[in-house]
Amino acid sequence: MLETWRWYGPFDKITLGEVAQTGARGIVNALHEIPYGEVWSREAIAKRAEEIRGAGFEWSVVESLPIHESIKRGDGDLAPLFENYRTSMANLAAEGVHTICYNFMPLLDWTRTDLAAPVKGGGTCLRFEAHRMAAFEIHMLKREGAEDDYPPEVCAKAASWFQQASEADREELLASIMTGMPGAFDRYDVEGLREALKSYEGIGRAELRENYRRFLEEIIPAAEELGIRMCVHPDDPPRDILGLPRIVSDGDDIAWILGAVESAANGLTLCSGSLGANPANDVPAIARQFADRIHFAHLRNVAKDPDGSFEEAAHLGGDTDMVALVRVLLEEEARRRDAGRADHTIPFRPDHGHELLTDIGAGAIPGYPMIGRLRGLAELRGIIAALTS
């Protein structure tokens, strides 16, 4: 397995020189400064690739090549957006980048209510607190019907939190929920989010699936021609939020996606944390079921609470059997190697580390500190060494 490290380019306080000290050989990167829907020019890609390769790395995976909201909603003349996406893919392939991670989450990317929740022994982690999300939806956003999406006890706790929360507490909650995608150009206040949600009125699970099918039908043939592996990232969290449907949350969703356009180019980013936040998901079993279509892996762990809350755990802690999961990935690599595939190696990266020691106060992108992820990489490296010795 290829050790990689997510690096945010000009948005990242961690330098490539520091990343080199982790021992990772691949970089996961994107041109976050380019607005969604616009073409990634070959010149811009080449400049970033030169920076990465000049530091001694390979640009292993693009994460992400974002999908414009109009494609997700299926509105307007989408032909120019699809053409721009295909052009960006062709430019990436021309510069030697052939794995593209993306997601189909409506409006928001990963969502947390706390960016610095304390962890036992010191340090902080990302956390999704069900009652705080409910407080945001019911009392701050005032979304119609939001009460029906949460159990009564969570709604009661949400009301109590909201009554006691200061204006600063509410602003902090909004900022946390809006943090998920560094470089994204849409940052909403409460009123702006209300307006943005109106654009999804009438779009349920079935409609979003059909819009996704159209995206795959437009993009996967180009990926086949270019030798690109597209790999969808699961929803995070794997549940409907803000009244918006999530359609990449479990094994059934993944089966639908991979079957919508049958192609090796239509693949999966196996994110053990996103899938692991759904109590119904057996992550190693999902990995085994779709092993031949896994093109990239995010290896992290979460600890879940009965009310739907969860937080980032240590990579060897949490609710997912990480040893069993890594064994599945190594077995798939061996199968590909035995089949004579030149691309048998699965890139992976540690994900959403705790902020530890000098991470605290260093200003790293939330979830992407130096020491916390280095600890995760070391633990994963140990699993791989033990299973392959």
Q: Of these residues, 85, 102, 150, 368, which one is catalytic?
A: 368
Average pLDDT over residues 256-271: 98
Is 315 marked active-site?
no
Type of residue found at 28: V
Separation of alpha carbons 325 and 346, rounded Å: 13
Task: Please state whether beta strands 294-299 and 229-232 pair in parallel, antiparallel, or not at all (unpaired).
Answer: unpaired
- For residue 320, the domain's CATH number is 3.20.20.150
What pLDDT is stored for residue 4 in this prediction?
98
Q: Of these residues, 233, 295, 315, 354, which one is catalytic?
A: 233
Classify residue 82: in a domain, yes or no.
yes
Residues 309-318 pLDDT 10s = 999 999 999 9
Is 98 marked active-site?
no
What pLDDT is stored for residue 184 in this prediction?
55
Pair 137, 143: CB distance under 8 Å: yes
Is 233 marked active-site?
yes
Separation of alpha carbons 324 and 59, rounded Å: 28
Residues 156-165 pLDDT 10s = 999 999 999 9
Q: Of these residues, 12, 271, 315, 359, which one is catalytic?
A: 271
User: Which H or E run contains 49?
Assistant: helix 42-54
Q: How far is CA 238 from CA 111, 132, 281, 349, in A?
A: 10, 17, 10, 20
346 pLDDT above the threshold of 60: yes
183 pLDDT above the threshold of 80: no
Full domain range(s) for residue 247: 2-111+198-388
Classify residue 156: in a domain, yes or no.
no
Residues 22-81 pLDDT 10s = 999 999 999 999 999 999 999 999 999 999 999 999 999 999 999 999 999 999 999 999
What pLDDT is stored for residue 180 in this prediction?
73
185 pLDDT above the threshold of 90: no
Number of domains in the chain: 1
Mean pLDDT score of the chain: 95
Q: Of these residues, 149, 352, 354, 359, which one is catalytic?
A: 352
Residues 92-110 pLDDT 10s = 999 999 999 999 999 888 9
Q: Of these residues, 298, 315, 354, 359, which one is catalytic?
A: 298
Classify residue 313: in a domain, yes or no.
yes
Is 169 marked active-site?
no
Classify residue 310: in a domain, yes or no.
yes
Is 298 marked active-site?
yes
Classify residue 176: in a domain, yes or no.
no
Classify residue 181: in a domain, yes or no.
no
Classify residue 250: in a domain, yes or no.
yes
Is 271 marked active-site?
yes
What pLDDT is stored for residue 186 in this prediction?
65
Q: Of these residues, 295, 351, 354, 359, which one is catalytic?
A: 351
85 pLDDT above the threshold of 90: yes
